[in-house]
Structure 1
Amino acid sequence: MELLAAEAPLTEIEERLRRARDTLPGTETEHLERAGRTVAGIHALFSRRQQRETELSGLVDTARDLTLPYDLDSLLSTITRRTRTLLGLDMSYISFRDPDAGDSFVRTADGHASALTVGYRVPHTAGLGEEAIQQAVPMWSADYLADRRMRHSEVLDEVVRAEGLKAIIAAPLRFGDDAFGVLYAADRNVRHFTVGEVSLMSSLGDMAAVAIEKTRTLERRHDEVLHLRSDTCRIAAELDELRSRAERHAALVDRALAGGSLGTLVDDVARAFDGAASVWDMAHRPLAASGTVPPAVEREMREATRTACARRTPAALSTGAWAVPVVAGDECLAVLLVHPGEPLREAGKTSLRLAAQSVAVLLQTQRGEAAATSPFRDELFEDLLVAPHRFTQQFVERAHRLRVDLERPHVVVVVRVEGGAQGRAAGWAAAYARRMDGLRSIQNGCIALLLPATDSSAEAAAVSAELGPLLDHPVTVGAAGPVSSPGLIRQTHQEALRCLDALVSLDSVGTHASTEDLGFLGVLLSDNRDAASFIHTTIGLVLDYDDQRSTELTKTLDAYFAAGGSPRRAAEALHVHPNTVSRRLERVTELLGEDWLEPERALEVQLALRLHRTSDVLQRKDPPPRDAPAGPEARPAAVPEAVHAAGDASPGASEDASSAIA
């Protein structure tokens, strides 16, 4: 009892019992043996309690370690190391289940030799781990490979065999109803696990499951915080961009409302995008530009414009530029082309639309100003058409106050809308005249435009191309000019009206033309009856060729037409070989084009030849006096009276006039 109280080792107590057994009489030996057994039991109890205290102390230390902040891999390494140390085994490892793959994989291991490396996958349909998860308690085997009480897997058995493991114990890692893994401990010797070791393994599994779930939750929250922080930074950057975009938009709108020019506004747009910008009207004519926007193929440009206006959104071009519709209500006013200094993100498209809105504000402001001054401009044009010779200088001064220069060349374009939509066409004409620095008037249901230009045919085509698509009805356009004097505007307006009537008479409703486009009909419709211009336009190249080379192409043409188009008979009349006539006609074809023998063109060539021949005769017989009036208002003396008579007739009498000339 004294030795037991002094915590003497069991061997010393057994030695004392042996000596006492030799000295005591036989009657007391039974009591001595009983005392020895009692002392041994008490000593074993003390040993178990001491071991239990050691295990509990290790478990408390493990629990304290698991409460420290770890990343998941460090936590798992701590769990496996503590498990192997507390149980005094050769190896421990943790496997996680992968529901998507239908198996388990080793996440971490401690004390392993080679086979059970991190990431190794094993099926979870067999083995101690599956049994532990199903039973929700630790399961163990003293010699796993020889134990036939459980289902084996060849893959798992191969790993156990490669590691040389015998005794294995497995505890489920469970949090709530979710069993997400298994904690294993193993020894390379056959070993039976005590109740205390099984209980310790169960406690380790429970603490490990809680710590793992806590760490995974913290990592998820940390990732969420990082994601939220990233979103916050991104939203802050977007807010800054929105604030900057709003400030730029406000500055552009202020510039537009302040009455600045379109060129200045386009300069601001180009600087905002650190590139180049330009504005084009719906007829693809430039209105203002800043920098150089890379040119695009016309077909691509038109397609991008059509797409942008239809979808009300910017359309990208292959050159890196963007076509942005300038829209006011349901009307597409123009197209803004922007070539940014760097590629645009999605938010950049919003900036493009805002820039286009500022351009729309300016164009609408200018349209409003045009509407305010429109009555005065219309009144000026109407006065020019009613009394062109009165107070010419006053007309010029009135035009200057309206920023119109009547002393520069102008053409008159007359438009007739076939059907309805006259009101919409009149509104468009007012804006178009303002944009082109011209004037507008409405006379007898027709819209008249006085536009600064030198090519009446091109202006007629431009008006038709822009107005036609805006209306649902055909548009017929006639034009005349140019003139550079207010006194000739009324006369040019009358010529444009006759050109318009001629198009209707020729069943060409919905088309456009100028007096120049109508050939000899234009000579008849013109008040000036400029036969010399008609001759030069029709056969001028042939006349110049004869003058420069002293050839006889003009004489050959006369003979050819007089012979009914027969080269042989023309050769007889000219007293030359037929091959000579053929070669001369080939030269004429080179000068006039392949279609000069088509019926309509041939008629114009014959008329030009006759006018030229008649003009030569008149100039030889009746030269003009020295004090004859000059200038555009003087009637050319070289024009035959037949032409004058035909010109005085109505447009419907063109055929009779042609017969008279012939």
Structure 2
Amino acid sequence: MTTDLRALIELVIADSPVTEAELRRAARGLDAETTGVLVDARARLDRLRARDRELSVLMSSLRELAEVRDLQPLLQKLVDRAHELMGTDLTYLSEYDEGTDELFVRANRGAVSTNMRELRVPAGVGLASKVVRTRAPQWTAAYDVGSFPRDREVTAAVQAEQMRSILGVPLIASERVLGVLFAADRSTHGFSTEQIALLTAFANQGAVILQTARLLAAEREAAARAEAASAETERRAAAMEASASLHEQLTRLVLAGEGSDAIARTLADSLGRPVAIADRDLAALATSGEEAAAWWTAGRLAPEVLAAVETSRGTARWVDVGHGEVLGLVAAMAGRTLLGVLLVGGEPLDDVQRRTVERGAQSHALVTMQRDAVTDAEERVRGELVADLVSGRGDRASLRQRAQQRGIELTGCWTPVLAVGWEQQRWSLGRTLTGLDRRWLVAQHDAGVVALVPGSPDPHDLAGRVHARLARAGDRGLVVVGGTQRVEQIAGEVADVTALSRMLPGVGVADAGVAARDYAPYLALFGANGQRARAFARGLLAPLLEWDADHRSDLVATLAAYLAQNASITRSADVLFVHPNTVKQRLERITELLGPGWRGPEQQFRLGIAVQLHRMSETDM
């Protein structure tokens, strides 16, 4: 073998690039067939070396990809390595959704517009859907959007990127299409068999890695969910254990006879939140501290809290207030009867904590019912004693002995307070009066409730205080405070106060707290039963009353208005809503019936009293 032939062979197998022209110059002197064989051998060797390099890059890329665990970074890595492997202008990957038959672009490299980001390819649209449907590579040397079913967003993305030559290969693992990997150029050209095979091989291996990453991600999510569920289970178990322990504490408090203050403190310590308990009238009964006490403004809860109370009354369950410092509340119910409200502030509660608050409300209801049972028994005994005192029944020695057995000393002075005309039931009135001062002796009396207050309190102050307390719930009624008497005279004083309470609505006093002494003239006229006053009024007004009854007229009302308006016909007409001439005609009729002397000062004075007494008698004095 000559030196020139050896150099030619070394040139054919050299690792460095060799052009065909260089090879033919070196083979000068050989026949054409031998030269052709050498050129073909060099071309095949170049292709094998290129394929070897590609496979090396492919394996290196796959090893790198196998180390990526997070799904989105893996998708981007797949695109990056495919971009380097193919050397195209644009490379991107679309994930396939089996449920909707849609594809979504998840990663790209080489894109110059934002259209490719999270691009949605509807079912059956574009080259991508054809790849999924055929489960085989698809390509085109000159992409034409009109050649495929169109979608406005997909068309805009293709045009924005100016894609012409596009190759798409499926990502298939375990017989499932996971997505499509694309390589695209902005120039028109075909794709060689080697390029298609290379991208397909990369996609096949990448699909396995992608599926593995998906499975690992699913396992991590499942593990995280299981861990979270386990932690939640442990938390709920701990919360339920704490709730059960708190329920035992509350039960012990009820059995030990503790009050609502202890319940509020125990709940506040357990929940780590401010707690308050309201009574039946929604007044503050017990609070865990100053923060809870501030929930009442001028003795009243906020409107949104009151609305939540009404909602909870129907279910006795937790209700969110949703506004202000009070987080939520539970109405303490016994059947349909409201026994109080348990209020909680601070941060939101979970389900177990809300059930705990409901148990606290039940405990308050039990304490209240227990206290009510004792109070009812005591009030019945005390009520019977008070009823005998105010009625004058029974001998004094027996009454004093019964009082001493209840720890009541009847010596000294007592002041009667009568509450009538209230919409509240009498037992509720009695409970409220007893709550003002446990030393008061309270009982149902006549149409209302009477309380015997020890000592000599200021009657106006006492009347105003009791009326304000009873009116707190929006109710209206009358409170009359009598004079201070020894127990021997208390029956007579209560009789006078009762008679006065029947008279006062007739003179327009129906919603007030008054002292009986301010209306002593009425008592002087009426006495204990008012029979003399009735006889006086009816005797003086008889002619007018008979005329009104026979003719359905209003002579008595006209006389009352005329006297009240200081004998002014015009003002009387305004009050009666009639014409002044009508008033004149009625006054002429009154003169015919009573005689001309009725206009004299003394006669008008007596007629004025008679009219007033007649009005009072109409209220069943």
TM-score (norm. length: structure 1): 0.56
CA contact (8 A) 2:506 2:617 kept: no
Deviation of 1:506 (Å): 7.3
- C-alpha distance in 2 between matches for 1:207 and 1:76: 13
Deviation of 1:332 (Å): 0.9
- C-alpha distance in 2 between matches for 1:214 and 1:407: 97
Q: Which moved more, 1:115-124 or 1:72-81?
A: 115-124
- C-alpha distance in 2 between matches for 1:43 and 1:653: 134
Mapping for residues 113-512 of structure 1, pairs under 5 Å: 114=112, 119=117, 121=119, 128-129=127-128, 131-141=130-140, 143-144=141-142, 155=156, 158-159=159-160, 161=162, 168-174=166-172, 181-186=179-184, 192-219=190-217, 222-223=220-221, 225-226=223-224, 229-230=227-228, 233=231, 236-237=234-235, 240-241=238-239, 243-266=241-264, 274-275=273-274, 277=276, 279-282=278-281, 291=290, 292-293=293-294, 294-295=296-297, 304=307, 306=310, 309-310=313-314, 312=316, 314=319, 316=321, 320-321=325-326, 324-336=330-342, 338=343, 340=345, 342=346, 344-345=348-349, 350=355, 352-374=357-379, 376-381=381-386, 384=389, 385-387=392-394, 389-390=396-397, 394=401, 396-400=403-407, 407=412, 409-411=414-416, 413=418, 435=435, 437=438, 438-439=440-441, 449-452=450-453, 481=482, 483=484, 485-495=486-496, 498=499, 502=502
Q: Which moved more, 1:231-240 or 1:511-520?
A: 511-520
Deviation of 1:286 (Å): 5.8
Question: Which protein has the larger Cα radius of gyration, Structure 1 or Structure 2?
Answer: 1
Taking every aligned residue pair, what percent have the same amino acid on both sides?
A: 19
Q: Which moved more, 1:211-220 or 1:39-48?
A: 39-48
Deviation of 1:327 (Å): 1.7
Change (3 A) 1:105 1:518: same
Deviation of 1:369 (Å): 1.8
The aligned counterpart of 2:91 is: 92
Where does structure 1 lack aligned partners over 5 or more consecutive residues? 22-31, 419-423, 470-474, 530-560, 568-597, 608-650
Deviation per CA, 1:206-265, whole angstroms, max 9, x where unpaired?
333343344345445545554565565566555555554554454344323312344555
- C-alpha distance in 1 between matches for 2:306 and 2:443: 34
Change (3 A) 1:372 1:386: same
Deviation of 1:183 (Å): 1.6
Change (3 A) 1:89 1:281: closer
Deviation of 1:114 (Å): 4.4
- C-alpha distance in 1 between matches for 2:615 and 2:370: 45
Deviation per CA, 1:176-203, whole angstroms, max 9, x where unpaired?
7875643223568876544343223223
Q: Secondary structure at the match of 1:327?
A: strand
Q: Secondary structure at the match of 1:94?
A: strand
Change (3 A) 1:118 1:417: closer
Q: Which moved more, 1:366-375 or 1:220-229?
A: 220-229
CA contact (8 A) 1:460 1:512 kept: no
The aligned counterpart of 1:75 is: 74
Deviation per CA, 1:540-565, whole angstroms, max 9, x where unpaired?
xxxxxxxxxxxxxxxxxxxxx99x95
CA contact (8 A) 1:168 1:184 kept: yes
Deviation per CA, 1:342-385, whole angstroms, max 9, x where unpaired?
35557676555444333222211111223444554345335545
CA contact (8 A) 2:116 2:157 kept: no
CA contact (8 A) 1:94 1:184 kept: yes
Deviation of 1:50 (Å): 6.3
- C-alpha distance in 2 between matches for 1:254 and 1:360: 14
Deviation of 1:495 (Å): 4.0
Q: Secondary structure at the match of 1:260?
A: coil
- C-alpha distance in 2 between matches for 1:122 and 1:467: 64
CA contact (8 A) 2:164 2:188 kept: yes
The aligned counterpart of 1:636 is: none
CA contact (8 A) 1:89 1:186 kept: yes
Q: Which moved more, 1:59-68 or 1:295-304?
A: 295-304
Deviation of 1:331 (Å): 0.9
- C-alpha distance in 2 between matches for 1:357 and 1:214: 56
- C-alpha distance in 2 between matches for 1:178 and 1:297: 71
Deviation per CA, 1:468-505, whole angstroms, max 9, x where unpaired?
99xxxxx99886635464333433444455457x4799
Amino acid across the alignment from 2:487: P
- C-alpha distance in 1 between matches for 2:486 and 2:529: 14
Q: Count residues in correspondence.
A: 515
Q: Secondary structure at the match of 2:396?
A: coil
- C-alpha distance in 2 between matches for 1:601 and 1:316: 61
Q: Secondary structure at the match of 1:254?
A: helix
- C-alpha distance in 1 between matches for 2:247 and 2:92: 64
- C-alpha distance in 1 between matches for 2:29 and 2:248: 111
CA contact (8 A) 1:106 1:116 kept: no
Change (3 A) 1:446 1:41: same
Amino acid across the alignment from 2:336: D
- C-alpha distance in 1 between matches for 2:67 and 2:607: 102
Change (3 A) 1:459 1:307: farther
- C-alpha distance in 2 between matches for 1:413 and 1:91: 97
Mapping for residues 575-614 of structure 1, pairs under 5 Å: 603=609
Amino acid across the alignment from 1:364: M
CA contact (8 A) 1:90 1:188 kept: yes
- C-alpha distance in 2 between matches for 1:356 and 1:306: 15
Q: Secondary structure at the match of 1:144?
A: coil
Q: Secondary structure at the match of 2:405?
A: helix
Deviation of 1:465 (Å): 6.5
Change (3 A) 1:324 1:138: closer
Q: Secondary structure at the match of 2:207?
A: helix
Deviation of 1:411 (Å): 2.6
Deviation of 1:128 (Å): 5.0
- C-alpha distance in 2 between matches for 1:468 and 1:521: 30
- C-alpha distance in 1 between matches for 2:322 and 2:120: 57
Q: What value does the CA root-mean-square deviation take over the aligned residues?
A: 6.2
Mapping for residues 556-571 of structure 1, pairs under 5 Å: none
Amino acid across the alignment from 1:332: L
Deviation of 1:330 (Å): 1.8
- C-alpha distance in 2 between matches for 1:101 and 1:355: 52
Q: Secondary structure at the match of 2:117?
A: coil
Q: Secondary structure at the match of 1:169?
A: strand
Change (3 A) 1:56 1:606: closer
